[in-house]
A and B are shown apart, each in its own frame.
Chain A
Amino acid sequence: MTTNRTGRILLITLPLLFLGAAFYYPLLRLFREGVTEDGRFTLRILQSVFTDPYFQRVILFTAKQALWSTLLSVAIGVPWAYLFTRYRFPLKSTLRSLTIVPFVLPSITVAVGFILFFGNNGHLNRMLMSLFGLESAPLRVLFSLKGIVLAHAFYNAPLVARMVNAQWEQIDPAYEESARALGAGRVRRFVGITLPMLVPGLMTSSALAFIFSFLSFPIVLALGGAQFTTLEVEIYTQFIVLFQQPTGAALAIVEIAISLLFTYVYIALEGRFSHPIGGAPRRATEPLFRGWHWSKAILWLFIAASALLVLGPVVSVIVDSFTRQWGGQAVFTLQWYAAIFQPEYSALIGAPPLRSVLNSLRTGGAAMIAALALGVPIAFVIARYRFRGRRLFDTLVMAPLGISSVALGAALLSAFLRPPVQLGSTWTAIVLAHAILAYPFVIRAVVPVLEGLDRGPVEAARSLGATRWRAFMDIELPLIRRGVLVGAVLAFAISLGEMSATIMLARPEWKTMPLVVNDLRSARSFGGASAMSCLLMAATAVAFVVIERFGERMFGGAKWSKSV
């Protein structure tokens, strides 16, 4: 029993020690610059940020656009979650795996897709103009708040859909059945029973959506323009352009404080609404393509509209990767693919594009495993133990999400250049940096399902002599597998899409796919960048489907049927 106890303590303290050394300590060192002057503590810099009317406006706008983006992401994501929970249709699990693909796209690719599709001269407007014989573009989406909010929803709605779906599948349909038997209508059942039980997943995913939109930077500038300046633009300017570390650090403190404040509120709400859900039997699903109901028509309409939002920009990038301009005409070409598929693409020193695919997949796989190893024990602590300051702890472990990407790159580089995690610019450093960025997703995906779990079966197993470890492996893990899987997939996605830490740590031979997209763009090979983005989408799509198939089998499938 004692070895078991030691093992448990190690399992929990090791991840925390590592995070402290490799992330929290360097972060605090960086932030110290924002609150010191000539070696002495001061609040003057922070104060000057808060009292400056310019920064006030920037902070307010940053929060406002993030709020709108979150609302739209939830409004689009929840019906998709409903679709995945309630209906069955061919290729459902594949489609569900694919929903996360937009999440890994470099923001610059998304911006390009949006410009090509939603632009005043984009596919959508040109289509509408020729359809209705209009003189000018009817949909003015770009260069306004609308464009920014739509692009953020493009990223975050799939996230909401996945997390809410995972929560929904844990809800025992018996509750709804009883309400139905008692005469409650569809709407009443949803508002009175399902919705409150969905709140944890809803809160979690909207907290993530808010933070992402709050920190967004290239998307805002590309689709909105400088008149829509966010805090992150200012942080970038202070750190990279003006070398004003103290002001930059002070702004980064403000940014992370606001992100974490939101996280804290969400976590508090999440706790209030979390119910023991029990070992929910698999929910019965209905075939999507049979039977008719007015609600289905609405769902169909909704799905079609939101598919346009997600597919439009993606398809535009795909089309772009097959066209080139010659003599003022757009012509079909395979040259961009030919260029990136050359094994020794001479122009790219270090990592030919194909190698970057392998780099991304290897790094993503390793980072995913490391993120699970970091995240699952911490999620377990948060969900299972009651201690003072638990919510604060839960909020603080989310810090890698809420930090400015510029500050993060600097903090991680500084961490990996010094003892005790002196890895320098190695592959391991990149993997660990990605894992640090990704483990909060594992926590957010696992905690709600773990909290919602009925503890009865675990206690029964323990009283029958099972060790805590065994009880976790045989009972809890299979029950929370959807949560763990979602966390794993998100961790993998974060690693594939990550740029700011990779830029600071990578050697050329470890370039990942998004960096090559950037390379090609800065080399004016816009078509090549689109082709590389398509390759990124394809590789990610395949990887997601494989992870989910393999994951379903690894945690759960068989054990689950045994325990039923």
Chain B
Amino acid sequence: MRTLYCLLVVLMGFSLLAGGEVERTPLVVYTYDSFASWGPAAAIEQAFEELYAVDVQFVAIADSRTMLSRLLQEREAGRQGADVFIGIEAADLARVTAFDLFAPLSGTDLPNLTGVPSSLRLDPAGALIPYEHGYITFVYDSERIGTDTLPRTFDELLDPAYENRIILEDPRTSAPGLSFLLWTIHEYGDPGYLDYWRKLTPNVLTVAGGWGEAYDLFLGGEGPIVLSFSTDTAYSVIDHGSARHKVMLLNNQGYRNIYYMGAIRGTDHLELATAFLDLVLSPEIQELIPTTEWMFPANPAALLPVSFYQYAVTPPQPVMVAPEDVLKHLDHWLREWAAVILGG
């Protein structure tokens, strides 16, 4: 035991020594894992560090909601965990605004925001800035479902021909899952959506915890229809050389999701943080969004790659439930939904 304690002390001492490095002014950015591992984070860091004498540190350990809850915890303990946060979804907009977490910004601080359409700028306080958007749609395996038999409306999705063939995500644990729940509420209202879900249940193979698991099931051939993104065909063509997985629209709609970022209130580097946000909106960075995030850039000045332009689907009728309504009713909607899924 004594040896163990000694070893322990040595190890702890080691870690203290290892911690002391000299650094440039750090700008800490909390974001979701895929923004850093897959998305444009590396390019943003490089571009920003060329302009300013800062050290951009992306902390991207988990999904955006978990990162947000980490930030809130740190704030409660009186720590300024981050200077910038990237990755608030439109559905969470009102909920997050209530925490007063973000510093209000004026349009003049962000020259690149000028071109961003006002339909994307849903935060009345102007603290949360949109940087990309996309659509939740169904995606199907074109080798297992013919174009002629494809469901094109919400009602056709109830056809017994699709019994146990649809893979969904859980609205409680997954953003696309929440989008679809809100979509059905937009279509059928409350409590009409519950009735629709009751009828849909026999056709649902499973409601997976996250998009990744659902897509794994889809790729593994467990079911031919999955709830996913309208850019999936573009991804499939560009990254896998196959257009086998195709986007399918219901009622010509797609559920619109907009993603926001902001400077954290109380940061010592508000000017730098603002400049950073502006850089993310610049056409050079925005042009990376399609093939790294597989989303549409918020800044229309950004040019889209040809195959993305060709295969990424923009639904003729994007729909969305207002963030204020989501804040007011989400608790209730999720609970009622879960009762239906559990067979209550």
Contacts and interface: CB of A to CB of B under 8 A. Distances in A.
Contact of A222 (B69, B209, B341): B209
B213 A417 contact: no
A222 B219 contact: no
Contact of A347 (B38, B45, B215): B38
Given A242-B334, A508-B57, A349 B37 contact: yes
A373 B4 contact: yes
B15 interface: yes
Contacts of B15: 426-428, 431
Contact of A227 (B61, B66, B70, B341): B341
B150 interface: no
The winner among B1, B76, B239, B335 for most chain A CB atoms within 10 A is B1
Contacts of B33: 518-519, 522-523
B220 interface: yes
Interface residues of B, number: 76
Interface string B45-80: 100000000000111111101100110111011010
Given A237-B172, A241-B65, A326 B240 contact: yes
Interface in A404-439: 410, 413-414, 417-418, 424, 426-428, 431
Contacts of B95: 242-243
Interface string A518-552: 11111111100000000000000000000000000
A520 B205 contact: no
B11 interface: yes
Interface in B1-43: 1, 4-5, 7-8, 11-12, 15-16, 18-19, 32-34, 36-38, 41-42
Given A221-B213, A347-B42, A142 B242 contact: no
A502 B66 CA distance: 12
B94 to A, nearest CB: 11
A370 B12 CA distance: 10
Contacts of A518: 33, 62
Contacts of B335: 54
B344 A526 contact: no
Interface stretch (A94-102, A115-123, A170-178, A304-312): A115-123
Contacts of B34: 519, 522-524
What is the predominant secondary structure among interface residues of chain A facing chain B?
A: helix
A242 B38 contact: no
A463 interface: no
Contact of A413 (B70, B215, B216, B331): B70
Interface string A285-326: 000000000000000000000000000000000000000011
A17 to B, nearest CB: 15
A350 B58 contact: yes
B207 A524 contact: no
Contacts of A241: 65, 172-173, 178, 330, 334
Contacts of A244: 331
A496 to B, nearest CB: 17
Contacts of A57: 342, 344
B338 interface: yes
B318 interface: no
Contacts of A506: 61
A229 interface: yes
A227 B335 CA distance: 13
B120 interface: no
Nearest to B339: A54
A233 B341 CA distance: 14
A226 B341 contact: yes
A424 B16 CA distance: 12
A241 B175 CA distance: 10
Contacts of A143: 205-206
A78 interface: no
A143 B8 CA distance: 45
A326 B242 contact: yes
B212 A417 contact: no
A409 to B, nearest CB: 8
A508 B66 contact: no
B242 A325 contact: yes
B170 interface: yes
A526 B38 contact: no
B166 to A, nearest CB: 11
Contact of B219 (A226, A325, A326, A417): A325
Given A242-B334, A347-B38, A369-B8, A54 B342 contact: yes
Contacts of A431: 11-12, 15
Contact of A349 (B8, B19, B42, B239): B42
Contacts of A503: 61-62, 66, 70
B217 A115 contact: yes
Given A226-B341, A325-B219, A349-B37, A11 B74 contact: no
Interface string A443-469: 000000000000000000000000000
A470 B173 CA distance: 54
Given A244-B331, A369-B4, A508-B59, A108 B213 contact: yes
A336 B57 CA distance: 27
B19 A417 contact: no
B4 A372 contact: yes
B343 interface: yes
B173 A236 contact: yes
A19 interface: no
Contact of B5 (A347, A366, A373, A417): A373
B248 interface: no
B222 interface: yes
A239 interface: yes
Given A226-B170, A373-B8, A347 B37 contact: yes
A506 B338 CA distance: 33
Chain B CB within 10 Å, residue with most, of A119, A221, A515: A221
A326 B69 contact: no
A178 B7 CA distance: 46
A185 interface: no
A519 B207 CA distance: 22
A33 to B, nearest CB: 11
B259 interface: no
Contacts of B5: 373
A523 B11 CA distance: 34
A413 B74 contact: yes
Interface string B225-269: 000000000010001111010000000000000000000000000
A492 to B, nearest CB: 14
Given A349-B58, A503-B66, A508-B60, A519 B37 contact: yes
24 contacts: A108-B212, A112-B213, A119-B222, A143-B205, A218-B209, A218-B210, A222-B210, A225-B208, A226-B338, A233-B173, A236-B172, A241-B178, A348-B36, A349-B60, A373-B1, A376-B4, A417-B73, A424-B79, A503-B66, A519-B36, A519-B60, A524-B34, A524-B38, A526-B219
Given A222-B209, A328-B143, A508-B57, 12 more contacts: A54-B339, A108-B213, A225-B204, A225-B207, A227-B342, A244-B331, A325-B242, A326-B242, A370-B8, A376-B1, A426-B15, A426-B19
4 residue pairs, one from A and one from B, having the closest CB atoms: A221-B209, A523-B38, A226-B207, A225-B206
